[in-house]
């Protein structure tokens, strides 16, 4: 993580959602856990949608990919341009997803905790399909379960949480072949229920992200289990070798 991030005033960015991003930037175990699920599918050309401060763009670069970091928020886009060395194979694009016109350009798309902020998620998924190369994969992480909703969701601009069946249907309707759809992080779900849902909190308690990051190495093995609940939904969806451009 670049040292100047610590000196970045949160007030430069938008409120609470971006404070969470800055907190998560230092959750190395947690970020490595999320990225580890995506790494086997990356390919050479990666689009990081809603790149934020570049946490997963950096990990994709370290993995050997060429990265396009898509970030519509001007302060974050400016930060990204200053964060990375010009010699690195990364391009920062300050634009909305629906304005990106690069049909078939990417071997994979990382979309972590972004889709829930989009008002028309069905249209966004169709656009993501268009951006993928044939057999390219969308690597998607979204918050799970309506019953885990709390005031925090509204505070950070979540339009919804997802259930596995509904998300699977959305991905299929967008013209993608679903390869993986499962709940992940059951420990986080139980903690979220107790700390955020039942207490009706609108912000994360101080130190909660750091505390959870410390236990990640001990709970990563739970990814091997297929439990009927979790804090998040993880999906891998493949663009078929050919598809209709209609819709």
- Domain positions in the chain: 3-238
Residues 6+ apart with CB under 8 A from 134: 104, 239, 240, 241, 242
Do the beta carbons of residue 213 and residue 30 sit within 8 Å?
A: yes
User: Given this model, what pLDDT does residue 14 score?
Assistant: 40
Spatial separation of the C-alpha atoms in residues 16 and 128, rounded to whole Å: 27
pLDDT tens sequence across 65-78:
999 999 999 999 99
pLDDT tens sequence across 152-176:
888 889 999 999 999 999 999 999 9
Tell me how far CA of residue 36 lies from CA of 32, 41, 194, in angstroms: 6, 10, 27
Phi/psi region, residue 185 (left: phi>0; alpha: psi -120 to 50; beta: rest), is left
Spatial separation of the C-alpha atoms in residues 135 and 176, rounded to whole Å: 10
Tell me how far CA of residue 5 lies from CA of 13, 55, 92, 115, in angstroms: 12, 11, 17, 25
- Is 173 or 21 the better-scoring residue by pLDDT? 173
Tell me how far CA of residue 232 lies from CA of 18, 140, 145, in angstroms: 19, 10, 8
| Secondary structure element (H or E) that encloses residue 89, with its range | none
CB count within 10 Å of CB 194 equals 10
Q: What percent of the chain has pLDDT over 70?
A: 88
| Average pLDDT rounded to a whole number, residues 44-72 | 97
Q: Which residues pair with 90 in a beta bridge?
A: 67
**How many residues comprise the chain?**
247
- Predicted TM-score (pTM) of the model is 0.89
Spatial separation of the C-alpha atoms in residues 129 and 211, rounded to whole Å: 37
Pairing mode of beta strands 45-49, 106-112: parallel
Mean pLDDT of the chain: 89
| Average pLDDT rounded to a whole number, residues 142-155 | 92
| Average pLDDT rounded to a whole number, residues 105-120 | 97
Q: For domain 3-238, give the fold.
A: Rossmann fold (3.40.50)
């Amino acid at each position: 993580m670049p040292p100047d991030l610590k000196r970045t005033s949160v007030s430069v960015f938008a409120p609470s959602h971006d404070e969470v991003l800055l907190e998560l930037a230092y959750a190395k175990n947690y970020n490595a856990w999320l990225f580890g699920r995506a790494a086997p599918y990356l390919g050479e050309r990666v689009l990081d949608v809603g790149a934020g401060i570049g946490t997963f763009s950096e990990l994709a670069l370290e993995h050997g990919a060429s990265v396009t970091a898509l970030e519509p928020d001007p302060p974050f886009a400016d930060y990204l341009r200053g964060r990375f060395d010009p010699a690195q194979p990364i391009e920062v694009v300050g634009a909305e997803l629906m304005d990106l016109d690069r049909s078939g350009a990417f071997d994979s798309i990382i979309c972590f905790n972004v889709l829930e902020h989009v008002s028309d998620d069905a249209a966004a998924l169709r656009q993501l399909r268009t951006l993928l190369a044939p057999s390219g994969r969308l690597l998607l992480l979204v918050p799970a379960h309506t019953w885990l909703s709390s005031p925090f969701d509204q505070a950070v601009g979540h339009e919804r949480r997802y259930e596995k069946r509904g998300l699977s249907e959305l991905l299929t309707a967008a013209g993608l072949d679903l390869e993986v759809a499962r709940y992940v992080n059951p420990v986080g779900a139980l903690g979220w229920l107790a700390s955020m849902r039942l207490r009706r909190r609108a912000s994360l308690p101080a130190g909660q992200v750091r505390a959870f990051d410390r236990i990640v190495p001990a709970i990563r093995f739970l990814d091997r289990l297929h439990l009927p609940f979790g804090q998040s939904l993880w999906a891998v969806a493949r663009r078929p070798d050919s598809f209709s451009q209609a819709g």
